[in-house]
Structure 1
Amino acid sequence: MFSRLAAKRLLEIRRVLRPSLPLSSPASTAARSFSTALNYHIDSPDNKPDAPWEFTAANMERVKEIMSHYPSNYKQSAVIPLLDLAQQQHGGWLPVSAMNAVAKVIEVAPIRVYEVATFYSMFNRTKVGKYHLLVCGTTPCMIRGSREIEEALLKHLGVKRNEVTKDGMFSVGEMECMEDVTPKRVVEIVEMLRRGEKPPVGTQNPNRIRSGPEGGNLTLLGECKPPPCRDLDAC
């Protein structure tokens, strides 16, 4: 019985991943709803495997320099710095054709590069704005109000998640984890960036000092006592 269930599940996954699946079919609806979990690719005019893409002459020199740090039998270890270089060249995001170019350089199957690019949130596989604003989607941050922060961002910018503003300046995505902000402060940060200003580093919540709790400590209000068996001053 278990083997039959496993085979059925495998068939469902294969159907979702089938590249030739018509977008109007009932199964394609399931594929789209499952897209977040599987991170599958859909061709578009500016993001398709057969689109011409290659490193510029200047970047090819950087490619050679990067590759010089790795033994010839471990070229695949250069995948992350090469993807980063390709993303910089392509305006902050990675089309599938750029990933294929990286696969050729390090001499691996393209799927090996896709695996890396879909795992790390630093790599963007769709167009992003000049400022790509990322809101944490983890449960602890949701409890702390990350959904309200995202809502404030989307409403202020007039976009949906993963969309780019018409002027190309901003886009909003999801990641783990983020600095501490408030809905009001996140809008202020957007306007600072729009004016070309640089927001301060660290927590953006005025009620917190560095990474301390909001409103100050509620426990450990006094000096911590050293362990009786060890002279800390002698260390």
Structure 2
Amino acid sequence: MSPSPVFQLEQVSCRFGTVTALTDCSLSILPGERVALIGPSGAGKSTLLSLLNGSQVPTLGRVVIMGQDVSRLNVRKRRRIQQLVGTVYQQHHLVGNLAVIHNVNAGQLGRWPLPKALWSLVWPQNVDAAAHALAQVGIADKLYARTDRLSGGQQQRVALARVLLQDPAAILADEPISSVDPERSRALMDLLRQLSETTGKTLVISLHEVEFAVKYCDRIIGLRQGQILFDAPAQAITKAMMTSLYQL
């Protein structure tokens, strides 16, 4: 018996006013898959990720996350589903003047009662869990460092540690290597692949760098002008497919 999909899109279209971001997209992503979304700027990759984490609902069609139709959920149930999907954003969304531990602990705020969350800003809670998450991403020594004094690559790792502490079933990453040099890009992609392999978490990542997509992911989805041009195993990607995807 095959496992149930983590994510399922059924003939999904997404419009913002007069702008159509996605048109008639259907796909299914199974537990443990590593999927890359590639395509030119404006192809709809970020919109697709926002549908997968439940922060956006489709204009048409169905988005099903872990068996739940997002459009049918009330706000409370949608937040519960969103806690099972961790997102690493391109801009990190960290609070620079706070210590690293506070930014990492933000991954647990959805599960903590308000008094505990507020008290944690004074006296950090769950220190061992936060330290373990930082150790997983290779910066265990930065637990009490001020976040805005870290390098860009280190801040990216803090953002990933925050998602690890959230302990989601799936991790989404929106252009995580667009602002780092090639060496850091390889290190971050190595880390994401290792975490996916060791924890079994599903990974969906949008990338501009096709070579990284092919090297680190099992499956490639090519988006162009809001439509899925192809959905294929990484080893089946051809030069002709890339040409049609990125043609002017």
TM over 0.5: no
Tell which has more relative contact order, 1 or 2 (C-alpha 8 A, sep 6+): 2
- Whichever structure has more strand as a proportion of its residues is 2
| TM-score normalised over the length of structure 1 | 0.28
- Whichever structure has more helix as a proportion of its residues is 1
Task: Report which of the two structures shows the higher radius of gyration computed on alpha carbons.
Answer: 1
| TM-score normalised over the length of structure 2 | 0.27
